[in-house]
Structure 1
């Protein structure tokens, strides 16, 4: 079946139910630690779960290690891991989250749903290179900064997947002043003005 509200992925009712259970867990914890903004609590499925799930369609075959930076409330990292249990068994997802309370939530979610997840409660700058096959980050920082992290933590043959808002063209132009990279711009299924940037071959730009 194609899950309603899960663009780009085809999953079982069991996986949909796990995502619904995760939504309830986010709602419960948000009352204490603000995992998502209060203005979007009533729209967690569309604004956060569905928005996160759509990036999974760009998962490269054979990838074994997915690194998610600034995982926050588990978007997209926990959503990716729930989908991977059915669609990519054997994928390990590493979540980097410096806020200890949010890291505790991520560990709780991973344990509750039996996910193959590692949580690093450290700043991104302090973790060793990860050689990830896939690297993601959602609503974390400007593209130039994300490419710096990707150049450190992504395997040379890996892919970075960054959901971006309506200013993505401006971010691309700014990033190209310091970085060379190949990018595919994919439409966002949750926001007609947004895009998903699928980026490979990241290198520092040659200085003039």
Structure 2
């Protein structure tokens, strides 16, 4: 159970569904290592809250695609908090099985594709998300075919964000807004739009 900061207040029903998700994660984690064993004790702070930051940015959209969903961060959390339908792409079959069970247990409107991102056949969406997955350049390679023309991508990034942006701009034209993380003093959310290859 977690008391959320005032800025991230959610309804009681949403809180209960987040708790159901965390309980499921704790049950499955010893078998398939969804988060590192040392992170389990701080799963609310390190993973749930971090992912929850994206909820206000995705709320109201028609749907979203989450790349490399792993243990459900941020995709499952976004969908629980917003009700926005999502497609989760996760190549690891066991993690995909967990994600399907998490969607069922929390009644989140999610579809899980157990395949590699570059091979996923999915209609482009107005929003693409990713967390702790790859360098920004690699993320943009994967995002471009998945993002609608006027869409936005949101990437949770750490202290390397500036270097990754510099590197990515060699290959991509894009508009970027930087949102400060409220869970990490050196973390940011990169909001990317108008993405075009150089």
| TM-score calculated relative to the size of structure 2 | 0.95
Structure 2 unaligned residues grouped into runs of 5+: none
Give yes or no for contact 1:48–1:75 (8 Å, CA) kept in 2: yes
Match of 1:184 in 2: 177
Match of 1:140 in 2: 133
Matches within 5 A, 1:12-161: 12-59=11-58, 61=60, 63-85=61-83, 91-161=84-154
> For the structure 1 residues 8 and 178, does the alpha-carbon distance in structure 2 shift closer, same or farther, using more than 3 Å as the test?
farther
Q: Aligned pairs, how many?
A: 197
In the aligned structure 2, how far is the partner of 1:146 from the partner of 1:202?
12
In the aligned structure 2, how far is the partner of 1:6 from the partner of 1:113?
22
Give yes or no for contact 1:103–1:119 (8 Å, CA) kept in 2: yes
4+ runs deviating over 6 angstroms: none
Give yes or no for contact 1:129–1:152 (8 Å, CA) kept in 2: no
Q: CA deviation at 1:156?
A: 0.5
Aligned to 1:78, what secondary structure does the other structure show?
A: helix
In the aligned structure 2, how far is the partner of 1:48 from the partner of 1:187?
16
Q: CA deviation at 1:8?
A: 4.4
In the aligned structure 2, how far is the partner of 1:150 from the partner of 1:199?
10
Q: CA deviation at 1:37?
A: 0.8
Q: CA deviation at 1:128?
A: 2.2
| TM-score calculated relative to the size of structure 1 | 0.90
Matches within 5 A, 1:160-175: 160-175=153-168
In the aligned structure 2, how far is the partner of 1:129 from the partner of 1:148?
15
Give yes or no for contact 2:58–2:82 (8 Å, CA) kept in 1: no
Structure 1 unaligned residues grouped into runs of 5+: 86-90
1:122-153: CA deviations, max 9, x gaps?
00111125211110010100000111111110
> For the structure 1 residues 52 and 165, does the alpha-carbon distance in structure 2 shift closer, same or farther, using more than 3 Å as the test?
same
In the aligned structure 1, how far is the partner of 2:77 from the partner of 2:181?
17
1:180-200: CA deviations, max 9, x gaps?
100000100110111000110
